[in-house]
Amino acid sequence: MTDYTPGPWHYATKGPGLLGVFCGDGRLARPADLIAGVAASDNHEANARLIAAAPDLLAALDFLTRAARTEPGMAIYEAHLAEAEAAIARARGEN
């Protein structure tokens, strides 16, 4: 169903000023290759936290959009639901 490394992910500093994003079994999560080995700075740490939260964010957004589609009165949020569903599709490589 997914091509990404399953979560949970976490970020950690490794060595002097280096950070990475790791999956549950301690392996480096592949998207972190973009930041692994880069000297840590405030925005690199923030990026790592966001990347580490991505699987949880995707699952939560997917749950909420599916739940909202079953609730009466949610038509007023149609534009937001469509944006959320498009983001989910992009994350899954469906676009």
The shares of helix, strand and coil residues in the chain, as percent rounded to the nearest 5, are: 55, 15, 30
Q: Say if pTM beats, i.e. exceeds, 0.75.
A: no
Neighbours of 43 (CB within 10 A): 8
How far is 20 from 84, CA to CA, in rounded Å? 28
pLDDT of residue 90: 86
Task: Find the helix or strand (DSSP H, E) in which 12 lies.
Answer: strand 9-13
Neighbours of 75 (CB within 10 A): 8
- DSSP 8-state class, residue 29: P
Q: For residue 18, what are the β-bridge partners?
A: 39
pLDDT of residue 32: 43
What tens digit of pLDDT does each residue of 17-71 get? 666 777 766 666 544 444 455 555 556 666 677 788 888 999 999 999 999 999 9
Which residue's structure tokens are 């970020």? 11
